[in-house]
Structure 1
């Protein structure tokens, strides 16, 4: 085999071995693949902006992509969300359980029963009457479904207005935060909550609570 033929064969084999979607599908393709546009908060429904996309493995091992998106012309509490794209099927779906005012997520890699798995820490948020509430949900992806492992709630409230102070009384407010620490090589999550008032005098008056939570993935026996 001469040099030119060898190069041709090598390139052909490389093309066959490489996955069909080595990189994330273009934003326009993701939007066009969405099969549940009835769950879109955008007006019109296809006015969806892909803000950021990351590769994530479903629990089956299938490679997919998760996107944080913005819905144009949506209400204050409905402008953000998420889209899961499965190039293998050439389909995408809006994950209507999450979003609101946040489209931020993190992918955590761990090992469960000897198998590498991806977990997603996905945020939701909303606000009203001076209170901002949010949650961080740790899930794994099974087909189109999100399976909840655990979640942590957060809230921020400046406090009730006090006439003497001519301002909100921080002692009546709240500043509650939470963190999810996924163990890299063992099936556990450390869930930590930090709760207190809105006076910004940590650590005074704040309570810290940590719980170790086992990861359970029913699809892996």
Structure 2
């Protein structure tokens, strides 16, 4: 092999090594659970009996690469089986986000631009139920270190109505079916928060009200 070919091969090998080092592999489910530093926040029994249902790469507001997981807590109560874990491979640590979850562990990552800087906002769900009512919320947050800071949120609820002896069933007119949506605009520092409210009768759009509001994105960490 001549000197030129050896030089090219050496450069390519160095390039591939650099790339492989700078992009860490996605942590396995076992690794994520072993990195959790606050197992006392787990609703599972035993505390480490946590199942990772989904994991997605996210960026903290500083730009640090991290991972957010929707998890299930085994042997937990009805309103406490679901939650979220934030993993930071840079620190080899993970933490449970105590303020979200309940009966939902779904989330969406929204890329956008704020003051010229590409960022990610996370739409994260929480839910609970009791006495025939299901209530949930969607919170739009950004992640700063271990803290999730809420920009806005929207509430949802479902209730079939009071039981009517004449009908032999719930009276849908006394119930409610409220839903909400958060629309993150990719290149604008605003979020459109929309709510749809009405009774529990299957007569859409009759009797339903739609309301939308423009919510500014404010991130104090970015000047």
TM range (shorter): over 0.9
Tell whether the 8 Å contact from 1:123 to 1:136 is kept in structure 2 after alignment. Answer: yes
Residue 54 (1) aligns with residue 17 (2): no
Cα deviation, residue 3, structure 1: 3.2
Q: Secondary structure at the match of 1:176?
A: strand
1:16: how far off? 2.0
Q: Per-residue displacement from partner, 1:145-194 (whole Å, max 9, x unpaired)? A: 00000000000000000000000000000000000000000110000000
Tell me the CA shift for residue 135 of structure 1.
0.2
Is the CA contact (8 Å cut-off) linking 1:21 and 1:87 kept in structure 2?
no
Question: Are the counterparts in 2 of residues 56 and 63 from structure 1 also a CA contact under 8 Å?
Answer: yes
CA distance in 1, matches of 2:89, 2:22: 8
Report SS of the residue matched to 1:68. strand
Q: State the partner residue of 1:72.
A: 74
- Across the aligned residues of Structure 1 and Structure 2, the Cα RMSD in angstroms comes to 1.2
Question: Larger deviation: 176-185 or 16-25?
Answer: 16-25
Q: TM-score w.r.t. structure 2 length?
A: 0.96
Segments of 4+ moved more than 6 angstroms: none
Are residue 151 (structure 1) and residue 166 (structure 2) matched? no
Give the alignment's TM-score, normalised by structure 1.
0.97
Residue of 117, 130, 133 corresponding to 1:131: 133
Q: SS at the partner of 1:117?
A: strand
**Residue correspondences, number:** 221
Supply the distance in 1 between the matched residues of 2:21 and 2:109 (Cα, whole angstroms). Answer: 21
1:82 match: 84
